[in-house]
Amino acid sequence: MEPIKLNPPRFDKGIPVMQALKNRRSERNFSDKRLSLQHLSEILWAANGINREDGKRTAPSAMDKHPVDVYAVLPEGVYRYDPTRHQLLPVAEGDYRRLVGKQEYVYNAPLNLIYIADMAKLENLPRPASEEEKLKWVYVEAGHKAQNVYMYCASEGINTVVRALIDKEAFSKAVGLNPKQIIVLAQTIGYPF
């Protein structure tokens, strides 16, 4: 598997924010048609892309630590999104969609995002924080990222739904996550029928 170089996001399209908010909804019907490279690129950028010269991102993160990584589960393999190079880095080859959800629609959707917190990124903080506080931070960060994807999908007419049902143990083992990495949530994305 090779890295997937993503297209730069296009900023000259979309609908007004209020219309996107009106259109925002959870949909569970997905075509198995592959997303275009442009849509895939912009979904990942919306989730966790760099949107400023100083390296800041589209979603906020406590103390700018960015512990929540975005993994893309495609029919051919699992990739981790690298926002600094705006590309997908290969993690595991093969179709892992059966491990990332327990609902039937997950298995044929062309994209599942898995939001994985690397708790090691929250070590050696400038101030002490409890494990409970750190978990709150990663839940909030993952929620922001997922909502950014919802807004993008609402603007582009793409279906999406956030999910909690995932075989965390099997997926973690299959893609080689370490004990400091925890699966926070999943999001299924695809074109409507």
CATH code of 63's domain: 3.40.109.10
Instruction: Give pLDDT tens digits for 125-142.
Output: 988 899 999 999 999 999
Instruction: Give pLDDT tens digits for 75-99.
Output: 999 999 999 999 999 999 999 999 9
The pTM assigned to this predicted structure is 0.95
- Residue 155's domain comprises 1-6+14-87+97-110+134-174
Stretch 141-169: mean pLDDT, rounded? 96
pLDDT of residue 124: 87
pLDDT > 70: what percent of the chain?
Answer: 100
In the structure, what pLDDT confidence band is assigned to residue 123 with cuts at 50, 70 and 90? very high
- Give the chain's length: 193
Residue 43 lies in a domain: yes
Residues pairing with 72 in the sheet: 79, 113
Residue 40 lies in a domain: yes
Residue 143 lies in a domain: yes
Stretch 164-188: mean pLDDT, rounded? 95
CB atoms within 10 A of CB 142: 27
Average pLDDT of the chain is 96
Q: How many distinct structural domains can be found in the chain?
A: 1
Helices (H), 49-167: 131-156
Residue 147 lies in a domain: yes
- How far apart, in whole angstroms, are the C-alpha atoms of residue 8 and residue 32? 24
Instruction: Give pLDDT tens digits for 37-47.
Output: 999 999 999 99
In the structure, what pLDDT confidence band is assigned to residue 10 with cuts at 50, 70 and 90? very high
Residue 149 lies in a domain: yes
pLDDT of residue 115: 98
Residue 117 lies in a domain: no
Residue 159 lies in a domain: yes
Beta strands in 55-180 (DSSP E): 68-74, 77-82, 87-93, 111-118, 159-163
Angle, alpha carbons 181-183-189 (nearest 5°): 135
Residue 181 lies in a domain: no
Closest by alpha carbon to 174, among 116, 112, 95?
95
pLDDT of residue 149: 98
